[in-house]
Structure 1
Amino acid sequence: MIDFIIKSTLSLAVLLAVYHLLLEKEKMHQFNRFYLLFSLVFSFGIPFTTIEVIRESASPFMGKTSIKPGEATMAIIEDSVSYWIISLWAIYAIVTSALVIRFVRNIRKLTSRIKSNPVIDYKNSKLVLLKEKTLPHTFLDAIFINETDYHNRKIEAELYTHELIHVTQKHTLDILFIEILKLLFWFSPIFIFYKKAIQLNHEFLADEKVVKSYNNVPFYQNLLLSVANANSSYYLASNLNYSITKKRLIMMTKTTSASRSMLKKLVLMPLFSGIVFLLCVKTVAQEKRTETAIQSTAVMTGMEKYFENTTFKIKDENGNNTADKKFSQLTTEEKKNIPPPPPPATASANNKQLNDMAVGPKYVELTVNNSNEDQVYKAADLEINPTFPGGMEAFYSFVAENFKISEEATKTKLKGKVYLTFMIEKDGSLSEFRILRDMGYGTGEEAVRVLKLSPNWIPGTIENKAVRVQYSLPITIQTD
């Protein structure tokens, strides 16, 4: 959540600053409207966009790291309660609820005024005649005006045209959009400045249409100045006298050449590209698989080599297929049921026969009595718990020596726990690794990798007989 707020706010601030520096003073108001709305959508999409650039590194792990394996347990893992986070969310919910109530009340107040006052159809909009003295203002397709001024024809045609532009161009939707964002992100003042920029641009659009329609700039400027001191109490409506400033008066007589407009639009392309590059591109260090390559080229001998490409279909006593495994995944009991490979070929055999006999069959069916052999036990059922050779302190040291933190994780200063479960087989080997929860940055996968390097444990026993045990392990990770 913090990452989302930081990235989106940075993008919003940069785009708004560019708008005020390059675009606001230019007479290309339709483009500016699109720019402001797109800036909001673009900035909220930035945190969800990640472009990975892979950088191959022979040493992807670096930095000092404190690894503290927690006490091994088979109990359910419970998270500690962060009361300060709960308090922050509670404050956020209270303030947001209050703002939502205010927002809904203003919507209802405007709609009720439409229903409770006379309405007249007017050029794809409707005029709402109010008893109280008010300046013309717009909400959706309704233009609110004073009833007495309407009947006495005291409202100038320029004012009707001005408000009609707000209706036909649906400016209210822009205001509602930014208001909803202010409800959700009330703690960020950036949306206040965006609303001001959007509303002022709406007035530029309406003023431009009036000037083109009546071609009497001095009269229209004087008309606006005559109502400059009046205020409207509806922050969701488009107000005639919104920001009657020098900016609006100057904009009415300003011109912008097509070449200047195009040049400023082209400048925005590298701007958006730069934001994406700075906030979305993530360099990922990829390990050179030197160790894997060495292992893959190592010569395997015996049954492991013969059954390298064989899939073993494990069946129960009823002939039902219970699992498909490779040779390295088989338990000791399952390996006892493997048929022996054929004797080595004689020198007189041709090359095809030699090749066929050097490779095991594609599939081998193994029938294993699983009535008690594969039963998984809990700690409470054991007479002797499984343990690492040399004790658990030796196991903690083993994990700390072999666990490696990625370069990216080192920079973020990780602190937390990785939770895993695995099976301790009857021969002490570890299998069936499962990551319950990790901290990202490959910490869970790294924990599994380290456990796979572990030597065989001393298995748990019942009645002096080794049994399979499901084991849980939290590992505490803290980078320096």
Structure 2
Amino acid sequence: MEALFIFILKSSGLLATFYFAYFFLLRKETFFNSSRFFLLAGLVTSVVLPFIVYTKIIWIEPAPAQVQVQAPAAVPTEFNTADAVANYHYNQTDSPQIAAVEENFEINWNLVSMVVYGIGFAAFMIKFGLDFYSLNSVLKGKDIQQQEDFKFIDVNENIAPFSYFDYIVYNSSLYTAAELENILEHEKVHSDQKHTIDVLITRIFCILFWFNPIIWLYKKAILQNLEFIADSEAAKKITDKKAYQYTLLKITTHETCVAITNHFYQSLIKKRIVMLNKNQSKKRNYWKYYAVIPALGAFVLLFQIETIAQEKKQNNAVVQRDTIKETKELITITKNTTDKELDDLKGKLKTKHNVDFQATDVKRNAEKELTAIQIQLQSESGKKQTVSMNGSKAIKDITLAVGTDTNGAATISVEGLRAPTPPNAPVAVNSERVVIRNYSSSNGDTPTPPTPPVAPVFPQGPIPQAPAMDMTKMPKPPKAPKDTNDKAAMSKFESEMADFEKKMAAFEPDMRAFEKEMEETMGKRSAIFEKEMEKYQIAMEKYGAEMEKYQLNLNPNFNYNFDMKFQERDIKLQEKEIRLQERDIRLQERDIKLQAAEMKKQAAEMKKQAKEMKKQAEEMKREEKKYSTKS
């Protein structure tokens, strides 16, 4: 129940983030189609993102082992029965008394919450079913006229026109031919762009989260934006926008609407008329759609990262011995074992038990005590084992068990690490490091993990700047004079047009030079990066092969296996970062090219406009000549 409550809080917070971003930043913009997908993305994100959790592992040092010895409880030597019963009295004349136990009544709020939610959910589901039944009763048994991809149904009921997928329902007797044309163009947009899907999705979210007030405001925003889309697209196909607006006002008198459909009538008629007459928003305002990204990033960092603390494995904890069926001899290596004794032990084990023994990296302190040693063992069966001890103090005793395994082959194993202390005395663990490694390979020395290659970085450097980046330096076309008979004004206009064409012609080489410089710069960097990536991929393949060989040589009990898995994970994450870096570079390159293309397009449009104005000036001259000839 607690997990459900947390999910509701997270989902509500994400819904509020998208809704307020739309309300304060995008509500007055004319990017209606982009706002549609922005709002739908908010619904999906509010449900999906709370389930995406990133796990972060923090390695901590293990707590020192503490052995607590509890002393046995003191046993009394004498038991006084008189004292034991001294406080017990029984009076036969007294009536027995029964102590009343008061039970505290507690409300199960989890159950209450589930019941309340279930009642609300059931009520809205019933309402949803009734709305479908009402819609079906309107569509059932009606004559359908199929035109292109639309199904038109002319009804006799006094209801507002609406669309439901490819069905368009209206009452033609209530409108003139011009009004009906405006209505049908509007509903065609709803049907063609599948706005019914948006309506159904928002209705489902309202049923699931009926208790959240944000979802109802969210639904209103989505439906309102759908009407803006239909009005905007319909107005492009209608010549008389004023008549369309009068149609909007006329439809407000029809109060009967069918649910879960796109209505031509909406209560926000004033806002629709305002948005219909509003100028197109500037493209630079698209940044407002990305304003929600920092909020989503903060949400993930604050709530979707699960930190797990894990203790580091102690290398000196427990040493698992080999499987020995019968132990024949125990050999102990102490801090006082000499180099000669180690050499003799090597020959003795080889001759007597056919076991290979080798002691290396031997270090001693001033008292000639062993402080470091590495012992390599190999049984007759090929089982390998390495014991490494290194510290500032004298080593603990190492006990080796020599015997036979289940197959009868001679084997040797580390039996345990014994402390040089009296029995039952506390063991003080010093700072020495004990590492025990087991190998299943029958030949070869102790393998070492391969070193991963370093991933390349995309070459950085300055990027060529586009000419006239803010478009303020581009030439502006002159305005034609209103009075075509004004010879002085016409002469000035022709002179300005000639100057404008020269400036435009001078601007084009700068754009071509910028495009060429961009292609050369990014091409050189991409070529260098691709070569480095090829080398990196070859090195990664070699590293993968070495890793497979290394893991095959290791026993599954080898302590470093766990670390190597994390190393492989880091390599994969590194490769993923490289791919993301490549994608960012490509996106950056694409944006620069698009910017250059946009500027080139604007320059071409201005040049085209200049030609049209020049053509207009020539026509005005011809008209002037005709007028002067007639005079």
**Taking structure 1 as the reference length, what is the TM-score of the superposition?**
0.58
1:135 shift after superposition: 2.3
SS of residue in 2 equivalent to 1:98: helix
**Where do residues 49-128 of structure 1 align in structure 2 (5 Å cutoff)?**
49-58=52-61, 83-128=108-153
Conserved 8 A contact 1:310-1:361? no
Partner of 2:164: 139
Q: Rg bigger for which structure?
A: 2
SS of residue in 1 equivalent to 2:259: coil
Q: Does 1:217 align with 2:241?
A: yes
Query: Distance in 2 between the 1:263 and 1:243 partners?
Result: 30
Query: Distance in 1 between the 2:44 and 2:166 partners?
Result: 25
Query: Distance in 2 between the 1:86 and 1:10 partners?
Result: 24
Q: Does 1:340 align with 2:290?
A: no
Query: Distance in 2 between the 1:49 and 1:360 partners?
Result: 54
Conserved 8 A contact 2:153-2:167? yes
Q: Does 1:276 align with 2:275?
A: no
Partner of 2:316: 297
The letter for the 1-side match of 2:204 is I
1:226 shift after superposition: 2.5
Q: Write 1 or 2 for the structure with the bigger share of helix.
A: 2
CA 174–159 in structure 1, closer or farther in 2 if over 3 Å, else same: same
Match of 2:224 among 200, 207, 226: 200
Count of aligned pairs: 309
SS of residue in 2 equivalent to 1:156: helix
Q: Does 1:35 align with 2:38?
A: yes
The letter for the 2-side match of 1:89 is M
CA 347–236 in structure 1, closer or farther in 2 if over 3 Å, else same: closer
Partner of 2:287: 263
CA 347–191 in structure 1, closer or farther in 2 if over 3 Å, else same: closer
1:6 shift after superposition: 0.5
Conserved 8 A contact 2:330-2:402? no
Conserved 8 A contact 1:60-1:285? no
CA 53–154 in structure 1, closer or farther in 2 if over 3 Å, else same: same
Match of 2:27 among 14, 24, 27: 24
CA 60–180 in structure 1, closer or farther in 2 if over 3 Å, else same: farther
CA 59–189 in structure 1, closer or farther in 2 if over 3 Å, else same: farther
SS of residue in 1 equivalent to 2:378: helix
CA 148–51 in structure 1, closer or farther in 2 if over 3 Å, else same: same
CA 256–309 in structure 1, closer or farther in 2 if over 3 Å, else same: farther
Partner of 2:265: 241
SS of residue in 2 equivalent to 1:52: strand
1:59 shift after superposition: 8.2
Query: Distance in 1 between the 2:401 and 2:278 partners?
Result: 84
The letter for the 1-side match of 2:30 is K
Conserved 8 A contact 2:25-2:288? yes
The letter for the 1-side match of 2:316 is T
Query: Distance in 2 between the 1:133 and 1:98 partners?
Result: 28
Query: Distance in 2 between the 1:56 and 1:238 partners?
Result: 57
Provide, for residues 142-193 of structure 1, a one-character-per-residue CA deviation record: whole Å limited to 9, x for no partner.
Answer: 111115347x747431111001111111111111111111112211122111
Partner of 1:397: none
SS of residue in 2 equivalent to 1:275: helix
Query: Distance in 2 between the 1:216 and 1:48 partners?
Result: 51
1:346 shift after superposition: 3.8
Match of 1:171 among 195, 202, 212: 195
1:60 shift after superposition: 9.1
Gaps spanning 5+ residues in structure 1: where? 62-80, 313-337, 367-480
SS of residue in 1 equivalent to 2:307: strand
CA 233–134 in structure 1, closer or farther in 2 if over 3 Å, else same: closer
Q: Does 1:15 align with 2:40?
A: no
Query: Distance in 1 between the 2:172 and 2:252 partners?
Result: 21
**Taking structure 2 as the reference length, what is the TM-score of the superposition?**
0.45
Query: Distance in 2 between the 1:225 and 1:362 partners?
Result: 100
Conserved 8 A contact 2:153-2:170? yes
- When the two chains are superposed, the root-mean-square deviation of aligned CA atoms in Å is 3.2
Conserved 8 A contact 1:228-1:244? no
Match of 2:209 among 185, 188, 192: 185
Provide, for residues 123-150 of structure 1, a one-character-per-residue CA deviation record: whole Å limited to 9, x for no partner.
Answer: 4111222212222112222111115347
Query: Distance in 1 between the 2:210 and 2:165 partners?
Result: 24
Query: Distance in 2 between the 1:163 and 1:229 partners?
Result: 18
Match of 1:310 among 322, 331, 335: 322
Partner of 1:426: none
Conserved 8 A contact 2:158-2:254? no
1:16 shift after superposition: 0.5
Partner of 1:457: none
Bigger relative CO (Cα 8 Å, ≥ 6 apart): 1
Conserved 8 A contact 1:204-1:248? yes
CA 187–267 in structure 1, closer or farther in 2 if over 3 Å, else same: closer
Comparing 266-275 with 42-51, which one deviates more in the overlay? 266-275
Partner of 1:439: none
Query: Distance in 2 between the 1:131 and 1:349 partners?
Result: 111
CA 176–342 in structure 1, closer or farther in 2 if over 3 Å, else same: same
Conserved 8 A contact 1:60-1:286? no
Conserved 8 A contact 2:19-2:218? yes
SS of residue in 2 equivalent to 1:134: coil
Conserved 8 A contact 2:53-2:305? yes
Conserved 8 A contact 2:326-2:403? no
1:9 shift after superposition: 0.4
Conserved 8 A contact 2:17-2:292? no
The letter for the 1-side match of 2:322 is T
1:42 shift after superposition: 0.4
Provide, for residues 396-423 of structure 1, a one-character-per-residue CA deviation record: whole Å limited to 9, x for no partner.
Answer: xxxxxxxxxxxxxxxxxxxxxxxxxxxx
Partner of 1:356: 378
The letter for the 1-side match of 2:52 is T
